[in-house]
Amino acid sequence: MALAIWVPTRLWMGGVVSPKRDLDLIQSLADKVRQLALCRPLLLAVDGLASYVSAFRHAFRSKFPRAEGEAGRCRMVSWQNIVIVQVVKQRVAGVLNVERRIVQGAKDMVEDLIQITQGKGVINTAFIERLNATFRQRIHSLTRRTRTLAQHPETLVAGMYLVGCFYNFCDFHHSLRLKLSVGSFSHRWVQRTPAIAAGLTDHHWTPAELFHFKVPLPHWQPPKQRGRPSIAILQLAQQWAS
């Protein structure tokens, strides 16, 4: 299971499940992050797996049309201001060594983005490691020496989305609370969930509200076919749009 988190709001951005931890798994996760990202300065922190670097570099590209009269496909141009850092951990003779690398981007830009996203600190993957621990704690199939094995990948995917949505909308996060002044000498803390901090909702959701929420269906498009579409397909598309 590969997960992604938006550090400033602690929002779980999504995840993918695969029998193996290979390039296909990491590329699927990078593509999910790419769909949610805007073209602006972005800091990507990953661990020592080499697949992360190649996957994110491949995902964060856009098509650039060729000049007029120039033949061939559109060129793929990498996004500007994308910073990739790695935290490589190795244990040698019982001693844990931590190496922090800047794979792509300038050092001053890394420091500025760290200041913006987490306020202080160094290059780290502590936030996603804590999120991984939360998922392992709440999904019995991921704990060690468990009797509740996931027999099918769909079971683990369903559990991942259940825990992730509950974490985003129903769990108060201690680091996201805001200090609200009351009077001249007192204050109180306003608790927030990752979804509130990200602006996805304006209130704390109950489990019942989460489970009864109806997810809208994706926009339907008629299938591609040669020739003119049939009258039935046009009528169905018009009904769906209305």
The mean pLDDT of 137-151, rounded to a whole number, is 85
Q: What is the pLDDT of residue 241?
A: 66
User: Any idea which residue has 């296909």 for tokens?
Assistant: 24
What is the pLDDT confidence band of residue 77, given thresholds at 50, 70 and 90? confident
**2-6/11-16 β-pairing:** antiparallel
Q: Where are the beta strands (DSSP E) in the chain?
A: 2-6, 11-16, 42-47, 61-64, 75-78, 82-92, 95-104, 178-182, 186-190
Mean pLDDT value across residues 28-32: 95
Q: If we measure between CA atoms, which residue out of 41, 44, 14 comes closest to residue 28?
A: 14
Percent of the chain with pLDDT over 70: 97
What mean pLDDT do residues 90-103 have? 88
Q: Residue 144 above 90 pLDDT?
A: no
* pLDDT at site 44: 94
Binning the chain into helix, strand and coil, the percentages to the nearest 5 are: 40, 25, 40
CA-CA distance, 6 to 222, in Å (whole number)? 35
Q: What is the pLDDT of residues 46-63, one digit of tens each?
A: 998 889 999 999 999 888
- Residue 11 has what pLDDT? 96
Token pair, residue 114, equals 């760290």
Q: What is the pTM of this model?
A: 0.82
Say what the pLDDT of residue 42 is: 93
